[in-house]
């Protein structure tokens, strides 16, 4: 199988120095974004401290964003069902390359795969929004 086809994927260049310079430029952009977020949005990702005694449920703060899809999932499917679906989703993610073995094809040429991918992304976004709504309502 042809791994990289310059006619399809674009021309090649030497890793040193051209490739590394490209990556350094992209990295510079990322560092500017990181410093910009730190300076311009100093309140981001900074929550108030826990009340004395560490009673986490007593606080009024919304859970951090990364908890929201999980909280949405367990709100819709409490207990074992939510856990089972979560584990199944992780197994499906890991097993993806074994689902359809064959030559490399972009998603737009594989309608079924594209539908499954978009459904999974919509489900994830829905869980995120549901969790956020339930935790702030």
Partner 1 sequence: MTRPPANPGGRGRPGPWVWLERRLGLGEAFRQRYLERQVPALRGWPQYFHRCLGGLSLLLLVVQLLTGLFLLLHYRPEPGQALASLMRMEAQVWGGWALRRAHAVGGNLLPWLVSLHMLKVLWRGAFHDPRELNWLSGALLWLASLAMLVSGGLLPATQGAWRGLATLCQALGLDPPGLEGLGLAHGLHLGLPWLMLLALWAHLAMVRRLGLAEPL
What would you report as the CA-atom Rg of the chain, rounded to the nearest whole angstrom?
22
Residue 123 parent element (H or E): helix 111-136
- C-alpha to C-alpha distance for 122 and 130, rounded to whole angstroms: 12
- C-alpha to C-alpha distance for 130 and 67, rounded to whole angstroms: 12
Least distance between partner 1 and beta carbon 34 (Å): 6
Residue 130 parent element (H or E): helix 111-136
**Which of 18, 16, 130, 125 has the alpha carbon at shortest distance from 72?**
130
Least distance between partner 1 and beta carbon 84 (Å): 12
Least distance between partner 1 and beta carbon 79 (Å): 7
Least distance between partner 1 and beta carbon 129 (Å): 16
Q: Which is nearer to partner 1, 83 or 88 (CB)?
A: 83
CB-CB contact of 134 with 68 (8 Å): no
Q: Which is nearer to partner 1, 101 or 137 (CB)?
A: 101
Q: Which is nearer to partner 1, 23 or 129 (CB)?
A: 23
Q: Which is nearer to partner 1, 100 or 129 (CB)?
A: 100
């Amino acid at each position: 199988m042809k791994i990289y086809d310059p006619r399809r994927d674009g021309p090649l260049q030497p890793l040193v120095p051209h490739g590394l310079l490209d990556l350094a430029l992209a990295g510079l952009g990322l560092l500017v974004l990181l410093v910009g977020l730190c300076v311009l949005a100093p309140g981001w990702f900074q929550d108030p401290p826990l009340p004395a005694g560490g009673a986490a449920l007593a606080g009024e703060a919304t859970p951090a964003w990364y908890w929201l899809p999980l909280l949405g999932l367990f709100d819709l499917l409490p207990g074992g069902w939510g856990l089972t679906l979560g584990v199944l989703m992780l197994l499906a993610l890991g097993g993806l390359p074994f689902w359809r073995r064959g030559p490399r094809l972009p998603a737009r040429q594989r309608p079924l795969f594209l539908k499954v991918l978009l459904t999974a992304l919509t489900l994830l976004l829905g869980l995120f929004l549901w969790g956020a709504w339930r935790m702030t309502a």
